[in-house]
Amino acid sequence: MRDAPPVLDATESDACYLAMKARDARFDGRFFTAVTSTGIYCRPVCRVKAPRRENCRFFRHAAQAEAAGFRPCLRCRPELAPRAAAWSIEDASRILAQQAARLMDEPDAWPAEGTAGAPGAAAVAARIGVSDRHLRRIFEAHFGVSPLQYLQTRRLLAAKQLLADTRLPVAEVARASGFASVRRFQAAFAAHYGLSPAALRRSGPADGSRQGTQVRLAWRPPYDAAAMHGFLARRALGGVEASGDGSLARTLRVGHGAQARSGWLAVRFDAEGHQALLDVSDALAPVLPAVISRVRAWLDLDADPEPINAALHASFPHGDGVRVPGAPDSFELAVRAVLGQQVTVAAARTLGTRLVAAFGEPVATPVPGLTHLFPAPEALAGADGDALGRLGIVRQRQAALRALACEVAAGRLALHPGADVAATCAALKALPGIGDWTAQYIAMRALRWPDAFPAGDVALQKALGVKGARAAEAASQPWRPWRSYAVLRAWHAAALPPQGLPS
């Protein structure tokens, strides 16, 4: 192993060792254990026999373990761990480093390696408005590895998952995981993992009868799967989404134009295993990293409950497992937020279902009820006002929908996790018919901002026992930077029946 300095101090390392011996799922993805006697690093939940303490080194990030020369475990598979979802309200350098990491964690935002003669890390630096040199300096100070090492680890782990969970040819795996060529992919894979992509695939379990792609997505407990399922099921749009007993299914489009891929996915919650079981259609397999990233955001699987509950438990003692639902399609979520202005959840669902039937693209799926893709931005940008009016959408919301669709279709408005929250909210509020409530709701669910707070929401005010946006804003200050979670817990608590009454 290369002689890299330890990332954690002795006290933290001892705590990590105890968590690893207990296989405590609360710490999954918060650290990785590297074993010097084997050269392998594992998740804390790995089922292998616990190594001796003197042979263990602990790292906060997989990229740090790989930079120190360790290879990922083929049994616990570090690529399945919940991602680090740290947020900072501290110094600017820390915020920039975390923003860069979030961009590199999002496959939708990955630049192709070597594009325009620049490495991916340089493109990320340009995205956040700093020089490549400055990004390297602050990133290494915060994460202990360079942006290029971090991005390379993310690409290789994505490729490892594609090799293990799909039947895609190696050339397609290379492209899907962000490599510019098969040769560079194979060289990087062999250098980091000590075997070829084909050899890793041969080492996995053979299942030639398997249809589609099946993936396990871990979370850190506690996780209230029933609350998540109930929230999403109540808002399911006909044609696009379907829900069953503990399951969710939907159609999905990834990409734009000729490069777009479309298909379906279905997910079930495995509470005992602390994981979501995801099935993805073969048509979406080539974009599996993006699909996984979107599903993780949709179900909020990367949240770390410990700091959130430390801030919110006293105010919401029954909400420790409640998460913030995201969106597998951020444009779709923004449209639904506009349709939901000043109407009930049921009314917004009706309008959304009508919009899908009128402007959505038909798609064949084996799942009953899944018949359409949600309308693309281009379809709504050119929508006729009379056609929208016949669906029951009033003129003010018609203007908001068309303006929103035009901005997204033209590439002037990017709605995805990792986007600049302040700039995106300002751009949204500059559009006709979009105010602070809508912008905050989009920030909370589409941009994955943990401190969004739609203070003007009447149901929220009622749940908090206050009157007016100013009073709600004042009441929310102790919950920073986790106010999005406070909002969901307040809504969830308000929907619960009084104690002693049946649900």
Active-site amino acid positions: 42, 457
Tokens of 459: 């149901």
**Distances, alpha carbon 5 to alpha carbons 29, 177, 274, in Å:** 20, 29, 32
Q: Strands, E, within 179-260: which ranges?
A: 213-218, 241-243, 247-254
CB 138 within 8 A of CB 128: no
Decide if 324 contacts 485 (C-beta within 8 A): yes
> Residues with Cβ < 8 Å from 214, sequence gap 6 or more?
165, 277, 278, 279, 280
Beta partners for residue 262, in sequence order: 253
Pairing assessment for the beta strands 361-362 and 372-373 based on DSSP bridges:
antiparallel
φ/ψ (deg, to 5) at 217: -120, 110
Query: How many angstroms separate the CA atoms of 168 and 360, rounded?
Result: 29
Is the preceding peptide bond at 119 cis, omega within 30 degrees of 0? no
Residue recorded with tokens 């799922």 = 25
454 contacts 440 by C-beta, under 8 angstroms: yes
Cβ 66 vs Cβ 153: under 8 Å:
yes
Q: Which residues of 194-231 are buried (b: 16+ CB within 10 A; e: fewer)?
A: eeebeebbeeeeeeeeeebbebebbbbebbbbebbbeb
Per DSSP, helices labelled H in 235-299 are: 288-298
DSSP-derived 3-state class of residue 34: strand
Token pair in block for residue 66:
């790989």
